[in-house]
Amino acid sequence: MPPRYRELFLRGAVLNQGPDACLRLFTEESFQQQAELYTSQPANQRSARLTRHSFFANSFGVEPDRQGRILIPAQLRSYAGLDGAVVVAGAGEWLEIWDPDRFETEMSAAEATTEDEG
């Protein structure tokens, strides 16, 4: 974890499958805020239940070691295609952890979209 973010995660963190083949790393507080969005949807609607299942079943509590490293569960490493070096990028309420090639592709797509809209 980059040194400038380490202090934010000293009390623990939650790793979650992101929607874009990346992982999201939340502080405990930001995870609770995100969880409230999922639990605010009516549980009697199938789509809301599926969204909840996906969010909570793919979330794992982690604690950084003294060097700021976290152990990423195999299931999440496989999902995000992580095998070696990673990119850690800030994304507002969470950090994202990417395979470098996937991140480059995503940033190129974002840049193309911005140019198309501009």
Considering the domain 3-117 in this protein, what is its CATH number?
3.40.1550.20
**Res 68: pLDDT:** 83
Give me the tens of pLDDT residue by residue for the chain, a chain 118 residues long: 788 888 888 888 999 998 889 999 999 999 999 999 988 988 888 988 998 989 999 999 998 888 888 999 999 999 999 999 999 998 889 999 999 999 999 999 888 877 666 5
Question: What pTM did the predictor assign?
Answer: 0.86
- Alpha helices, H only, the chain: 3-6, 28-39, 46-57, 74-80, 100-117
**How do the domains of the chain map onto residue ranges?**
3-117
**Res 9: pLDDT:** 86
What element of type H or E holds 87?
Answer: strand 87-90
**Strand, coil or helix: 11:** coil
**Strand, coil or helix: 78:** helix
Question: Which structure tokens are listed for 26?
Answer: 């939340």
Exposure b/e, 21-50, CB count within 10 A at least 16 = b? ebbbbbbeebbeebbeeeeeeeeeeeeeee
